[in-house]
Structures are given as C-alpha cells and as structure tokens.
Amino acid sequence: MTVNPVSTNSSASLISPEIGKSAIDSAHPTLKLGILASGSGSNFEVIAEAIQKGQLNAEIPVLIYNNPEAKAAARAEKYGIPAILLNHRDCKSREELDTKIVKTFQEYDVEWVVMAGWMRIVTKVLLDAFPDKVINIHPSLLPSFPGIRAVEQALAAKVKITGCTVHIAHLEVDSGPILMQAAVPVLPDDTAETLHARIQVQEHKIMLGAIALIAESH
Ligand code: GAR
C-alpha cells in the first residue's frame, strides 16, 4: 500500500476533525494497531479516544510497554485494552526484546505498529516483521534533532521553529519517509518543559492525521 506523505503547519488548519469519519464510512477493513509506549502514553490515549468516539477506523488489540512505571498502562486499562509489560531489562539484547514484541503482536493479529513515545532503538527483527508498517512520532522537525532529548537539542541550537514528525520507521534512528509534520514556534522564555508541552499538542493532531491516512489506504 502507499501512504501519501502530507506536510502541515501548526499555524494552518492542521487536521480536520472529519478526517477519520470518511474512513469509517468506507469499505476499508478496520486497521489493527499495536502500540509501543514507554512513558506517559498521551499519544496512545488520543488514538484510543478517537477510536472510542468513532473518529478512526482502527482498533488497538494490544499495548506493549517496557517500563514498569509507564503511565500508558493505566490509560490502557481505562479503554479496556490489554497492556503487556515486556521489560527490556529482562532481555539480553535489543533483538531479544524485539522478538518478544513481534511474537506478541502476531498473537494479537496486529497489522501496523505505532511507536507512541517508545524510547528503545528498534532492530531489523521488528522492522522486517512489519515492513514499512512501523510508525514513529518524534518531537522535532526531522531530519533536524534526531535521537534523545530532541526538545533540548532544539533549544540549544537556538532555532526559532521546531515541531514534531510522524514517519515510517527505518533502521537508522528517527529516519524513514515522513507522513506528517507540524511546526511549533520557539518562544523567548521557553524551557524544555513549556516547549515540549506545546509540541505535544501538535503531536496529538499529526498522530491522528497520520493514522487516518494509513486507515484510508489500508
Ligand atoms: C512524545 O513527545 C514523543 O514525541 C517522544 O516521547 C514523547 C512521549 O509522550 N518520543 C521520542 O522522543 C522518541 N524519539 P507520550 O508518552 O505522552 O505520548
């Protein structure tokens, strides 16, 4: 399948609230999303909420988290979504963790994988099992500021505009075809926390927009 990349700007109208409705009305089969989350899970929750409201033609058969403290697990419970802990500390290698992830997703018939704040580097094991069907969200306008602490990197570089990106994940960290981006201005008094909070508002919009695109061409 082909997903047409779209760029957006946060100052423009980003994502129509209607974007998912056409998917629901269409003959496309429901998209089965496996979610990977390491932290708060706010991106995961906007997907779960949109599905619950009938705005996205998708379902989430399972969420995998790697950090026992991840708040994403409690959010999953709220939506009746099974949350499975695969702790990377119990694995000898990245490949071993990814092998467990693939097995779990296959058991739940997952079709596309969403890294929604997944703070582990993924390997060929995962990417080969779901070729060009793993998406990632990153808090910068890639290819600027890949890797960890992207928001701090943007502040240190003194850029005036940063943002967020949803892309198809390839092997190199934070690389692969871009599906959607949103720009966020850096304000003079911004700290990493204030800037990240505004980036996350945009992340939630492009995450839903990108998944709607995938669901429509599924
Ligand atoms: C998001 O800001 C996402 O862009 C970032 O982690 C946060 C997770 O938030 N991901 C990365 O930095 C991956 N390189 P959430 O848990 O509230 O969705």
pLDDT tens-digit series, residues 139-176? 999 999 999 999 999 999 999 999 999 999 999 999 99
Residue 44 reports pLDDT greater than 70: yes
Q: What is the pLDDT of residue 17?
A: 38
Q: What is the pLDDT of residue 113?
A: 98
Q: What is the pLDDT of residue 28?
A: 77
96 Cα–ligand 1 center, Å: 23
CB atoms within 10 A of CB 69: 9
Helix extents (H) in the chain: 19-25, 42-52, 72-78, 94-107, 124-129, 150-157, 192-216
CB atoms within 10 A of CB 30: 15
CB-CB contact of 34 with 112 (8 Å): yes
More confident residue, 7 or 166: 166
Q: Of all protein residues, whose CA lies closest to atom 3 belonging to ligand 1?
A: 117
CA dist., res. 139 & res. 195, Å (int) = 10
Residue 14 reports pLDDT greater than 90: no
106 Cα–ligand 1 center, Å: 24
Token match 């992830």: residue?
Answer: 101
Q: How far does Cα 111 stand from its chain's mean position?
A: 15
Sign of CA pseudo-dihedral 88, 121, 170, 186: positive
Strand, coil or helix: 112: strand
| Percentage of residues in the chain having pLDDT higher than 90 | 86
Q: Is any ligand 1 atom within 6 A of the Cβ of residue 190?
A: no
Q: What is the pLDDT of residue 26?
A: 55
More confident residue, 119 or 20: 119
More confident residue, 180 or 15: 180
Tell me which DSSP letter residue 51 carries: H
Global pTM reads: 0.90
Please pick, among 88, 138, 170, 204, the residue that the annotation labels catalytic: 138
Preceding omega of 143 cis (within 30 degrees of 0): yes
CB-CB contact of 161 with 183 (8 Å): yes
Q: What is the pLDDT of residue 29?
A: 86
Residue 25 reports pLDDT greater than 60: no
